[in-house]
Structure 1
Amino acid sequence: MVKKLLMICTALAVIGGAAAYWFVETSSAKLAEPVQVSEQMEDFIMHVQVEKNEEGFQVLRSLEYIGDEPIVLSHRTPLISLRVNHDTKNFTGSPVTKELNPGDVYHPQEAKVFNPLKKGSHTLYMDCEFYIDGERKNIKAHKEMVFQ
C-alpha cells in the first residue's frame, strides 16, 4: 500500500514538473536580439529601441529635431504610441508643449516595459504624433521582433 502511494506521488510530481516546464517554455520567451528603428520625416527623426530586461522587454523612444531654427512642439501623451501585433493609436494624455532647439533629442516618457511574449515573430507598431504651429505631423513605422 505504501509502495503504491509512493509511486503515485512520484508519478504526479514528474507529471507536474513536466507540465510546469512546458508551460514556462511555451508561454513566454526572450527577445532574440535588440531591435532599433530610426524613421525620418522632414526635420524630425523618431528613434525606438527594443531590448530585453528582467520583466520581459522594454522599449526606449525619443524624437530628434534636426532643423535649423528653434521650434515649439505640442503633443498628447505618449509622444510615441507603441502597440504589439495591432496598429492602433493611444494618445490619451494631457497636451504637452516643448521648445526644441536644433540637435535636441526629446524623450518625455520613461522606457515602456512589456511582459514576455510567446515564442515567434511579433510586430511592434510605432506612431509619433505632434503639432508644429497647428500643423499635424505623424511619423509611423513597424518592425518585426523575434522571441525565442
Structure 2
Amino acid sequence: MKKKFILIIIVIGAVFIALIYGGFGNANAKLVENKTVTKQEGDFILHISIENADAGVKVYSSIQYVGDNPVIIEHRAPLVSISLDQQQHKYTGSPVSKELNKGNIYHPPYSNEFDIQNRPCASLYLEARFKVDDEEIRIQHVEELEFK
C-alpha cells in the first residue's frame, strides 16, 4: 500500500512538472536573432527591424523614397500593416498625404508588439500599401521567425 502511494505521488509529480514545462517552457521565448530586412519595389524601400521585447517581439517599419523627383504618397492607416501568423491586412481612417524627396524615410511614430509565448516559430506578414499619382504600390514581405 505504501509503495503504491509513493508511486502515485511520483507519477503526479512528473505529470505536474511536464505540464508546467509544457505550458510555460517558451513563456519567455526570445528570437534566435534580431533581424533587419529591406525590400525594394521601384523607387521605394520597405525597412523592417524585428527585435526582442519583454513579452514578445517589437517590429519597426518605414518606407524610404529613393527616386529622383519629389512625390506625394497617399495612404490609409497604417502605413505598413503587420500581422503575426495571419495574412490579413486592414487599412482604416481617412487618407493621409505625405510629400517625399529623394532619401526621405517615412515611418510611423510607434512600433508593433506581438506576444510570442509558447511558439517555437511564427510567420510575420508585412504589407505597405499606398498610392503615387493614383497608381497603387504594394510592398509585401513574409519573415519567418524562430524562437529559443
Same fold per superposition (TM over 0.5): yes
TM-score category (smaller protein): 0.7 to 0.9
Give the TM-score taking structure 1 as reference length.
0.82
Aligned to 2:99: 99
Count of aligned pairs: 139
| 2:80–2:126 CA contact under 8 A, matched in 1 | yes
Aligned to 1:66: 66
Taking only the aligned residue pairs, the percentage that are identical comes to: 34
- Offset, 1:20: 3.9
- Offset, 1:134: 1.1
Secondary structure of 1:83's counterpart equals strand
- Which segments of structure 1 move beyond 3 Å, counting only runs of 4 or more? 14-22
Paired with 1:93 and 1:23, the residues of 2 have a C-alpha distance of: 39
- Offset, 1:138: 0.5
Which ranges of structure 1 fall in alignment gaps of 5 or more residues? Answer: 1-9
Give the TM-score taking structure 2 as reference length.
0.82
- Offset, 1:36: 2.0
CA RMSD of aligned residues (A): 2.3
Q: CA deviation digits over 1:80-121, x for unaligned, max 9?
A: 111111211121233211111110010024111111242322
Which ranges of structure 2 fall in alignment gaps of 5 or more residues? Answer: 1-8
Q: Which has the higher strand share?
A: 2
State how 1:20-31 maps to structure 2 within 5 Å.
Answer: 20-27=20-27, 29-31=29-31
Secondary structure of 2:32's counterpart equals coil
